[in-house]
Amino acid sequence: MIDRIEVVRGGGSALYGSSAIGGTVNVITKIPKRNDYSFGYTYQNIDGVSDQIISGNATVINEERNAGISFFVNNRNRNLYDANNDTFSELPQLKNNAFGTNLFFLPTDNQKIEINFSKMNEYRYGGEMTNKAAHLALQSEERTHDVYAGNIDYQINFNEGKSSLISYFASQYTGRKHYTGIYPDTPAEIQQHLENPPYGNSKTTTLQAGLQFNYKVDSFFRGNNVFTIGAEFVKDAVFDEIKAYNYNIDQVTENFGIFLQSDWEINNKVSVLTGLRIDKHNFVSKAIVSPRVSFLYNFIENTQFRATWGTGFRAPQAFDTDLHIAFAGGGISRVTIEFFGDEVDSIRTFDVETQLSKDKLKKVSIMPNVENKALQEKRESFLKYVSSKTIIFHKNLDLLTGKLNDFFTKATSSFQQLSTEIKRSEPAELFCDGNLILQQLKEYTTVAINQSETAHTQSNINFSIQPQPSFNKQFDVLIKNLNNYSKQGYTNYIFCANDKQAQRFHDIFDDNEQEVSYQTIVFPLHQGFIDTDKKIVCYTDHQIFERYHKFRLKNGYAKKQSITLKELNTLEIGDYVTHIDHGIGKFGGLQKIDVEENKTLQIIDNYNNALNNPDDTEAYQKAFEQMELHNAWDFETQYKQILSKLKFDNLEQKVSELSGGQRKRLALATLLINKPDVLILDEPTNHLDLEMIE
């Protein structure tokens, strides 16, 4: 039975010792005085989703009321709850079963022995609402906990109840099976995910023992005071493993603490509690001193005010509550921290493959490796991770090795000034100097790309390559240039972004009625060149037309390049903006475009009509200029790319045969082909839609 509950936020718990729990909640129990039992059933319903709780308690004591036993059972079953009908749960599925018992025995009026045991099993699942295994869901989190806890306490009161001695021993074991992840995208990642799903397994065992002596002074400066002195030992063993990520924690920590406390009750309204605790942790070389002060004022009945100040410490260890945070999202999170001078400017996660930022974080916890890996592993330089068959290109090698030597010297000097109380790795174990890099480079084939007067070469390789000249859209100059190279025995190639661009060159050269020797290759090339050794000419379409060559990112544009709706609303007509194709210009306002009135489609229709009327040269020239102005040659390719990203594989399928979801995605494709700066959807969408839009 509970006699009193104290809820205390922060590091200043009101108590030290056996009655204090973590500085947040103090629960003080009392011995039951009679036989008792209770049974409860609670049913809750949220939009048809049930949440049921069944609980029961029973207490039996003997006739002398000096011995008894209490039992409790609890069962809870809550189904998944989806608030916005996106097939992803806002409340997870919960299945909880718990039971426990408490035994007490009073050998004499001033002695008490208490034994407690409890067992809890809990299952939680949240994410995509599906009957598949957790790792097959688009996004999910699954946990299964088994918790066993027990303790035994002994207390004796003497000196007419003014003094007491308390000893206690407690243990807890927590077994956890867990999964947190997102179903991958690429075929290689999917295969690896299915062959080795990233399920994890955790085991945590805690042992705690302590001794506490209390002494009460009835007359202490017009009040009374309870002095407490005690000692406590805690041993914690944490094992956590996710084999798919090669992640493993296997640590044992020990902490021994002694404490002294004064609980001075000045009157029935005011009390002051002061304390001091000294801890010695096996991961910290010196003892940690933690003072504590608490002021309590009962200004009205059943209401009290408490002001607390205290200090504490957090040892450099892995705590059970911290496990698996790094794996939310299905993989180890990579974090980049940007500094502005000595200040942290931003903290962001990023994609390892594309190096693009993903999410912005407010804070991260950087924890040291607390395992004894130094006994089993050693640090290696970066080159040791590179295959011996690799060809390494280097520039300014002397500058590199010189800087490494300077940094190594500074590290050695700083290490010598550090305190010897804490054991630290020496610089030679952590860093490499320039001489080590030079020695390891000898194991590779290296290419120096800088000019050096002292370098000696065995052979020289000259690349006889010239850049593509500028034609300023003058096709007669281009034709003359290509024919000149053709007469010299060169093979001419024009690299185009798509088939439309290739056909465009054929049309242009046919209109000029000149014989041109060239071949088109549909393959986007960043820059053209002329190789005089191989006698080949490689020109690019975007350089000939003086167009900006758009760079393409694997996951779309970086977030910094996109404009937000808030920023867009703040723009006024006449404000300067930057366009990716046309550079700096003035903002002319927003214009609503109906899907049925797509301007590019109209331009393509006009161009096709002009092709069917070859006699109307003026109409053809005007249509050709409009196609060029609006870059309509790529329209079909762009539309196919969008349909492909939206999972349309059969382009011959009739609209009437499409499902409701497919028709929505088709409408979305019609919107996206207009390349809107802002896309506003008037209904909720699911995670798959958002992923495809991005």
CA end-to-end span of the chain = 57
| Other CB atoms within 10 Å distance of the CB of residue 93 | 18
- Sequence-ordered list of residues with C-beta below 8 angstroms from that of 442, at least 6 positions apart, any chain: none
Residue 240: name the closest of 199, 195, 183 by CA.
199
Q: Tell me whether strands 36-46 and 391-394 are parallel, antiparallel or unpaired.
A: unpaired
Q: Residue 558's pLDDT is what?
A: 44
Among 25-29, 364-368, 486-490, 627-631, the minimum mean pLDDT is found in: 25-29
Q: What whole-number percentage of the chain has pLDDT above 70?
A: 76
Q: What is the tens place of the pLDDT at every residue in 95-109? A: 999 999 999 999 998
pLDDT above 90 as % of the chain: 25
DSSP 3-state of 601: helix
- In the predicted model, is pLDDT for residue 535 greater than 80? yes
pLDDT(529) > 50? yes
Say yes or no to pLDDT of 628 above 80. no
What pLDDT is stored for residue 658 in this prediction?
72
Compute the C-alpha angle 70/74/76, nearest 5°.
Answer: 175
> 405: closest CA among 382, 438, 435?
435
Mean pLDDT to the nearest integer, 222-241: 90
**The token pair that represents 203 in the structure block:** 């085991």
Residue 326's pLDDT is what? Answer: 37
Q: How many CA atoms lie within 13 A of 211 on its CB side?
A: 2
> Which architecture does CATH list for 2-326+557-587?
Beta Barrel (2.40)
Indicate whether 81 pLDDT > 80.
yes
Q: What is the number of helices (H) and of strands (E) in the chain?
A: 13, 27
pTM for the predicted model, two decimal places: 0.47
Q: What is the 3-state secondary structure (H, E, C) of 214-228?
A: EEEEEEECCEEEEEE
DSSP character for 645?
H
Helix (H, G, I), strand (E, B) or coil at 16: coil
Asked whether 266 and 220 are in contact (CB, 8 A), the reply is no
d(CA 464, CA 469) in angstroms, rounded, equals 15
Token pair for residue 241?
Answer: 């493993």
- Residue 324 tokens, joined: 């698996």
Fill in the amino acid letter for 3. D
Q: How far apart are CA 263 and CA 271, in angstroms?
A: 7
Contact between 78 and 50 under an 8 Å Cβ cutoff? The reply is: yes
Report pLDDT for 355.
Answer: 53
Domains of the chain, residue spans = 2-326+557-587, 334-365, 382-448, 465-545, 599-692
User: How confident is the model over 587-612, as pLDDT tens digits?
Assistant: 777 665 554 456 777 787 787 787 77
Q: In this predicted model, what pLDDT tens digit does every residue of 409-449 receive, in sequence order?
A: 988 888 888 766 666 778 888 888 888 888 888 888 888 87
Is 80 exceeded by the pLDDT of residue 23?
no
Please state the rounded mean pLDDT for residues 64-71: 90
Q: Where does the pLDDT of residue 351 fall: very low under 50, low under 70, confident under 90, or very high at 90 and above?
A: low
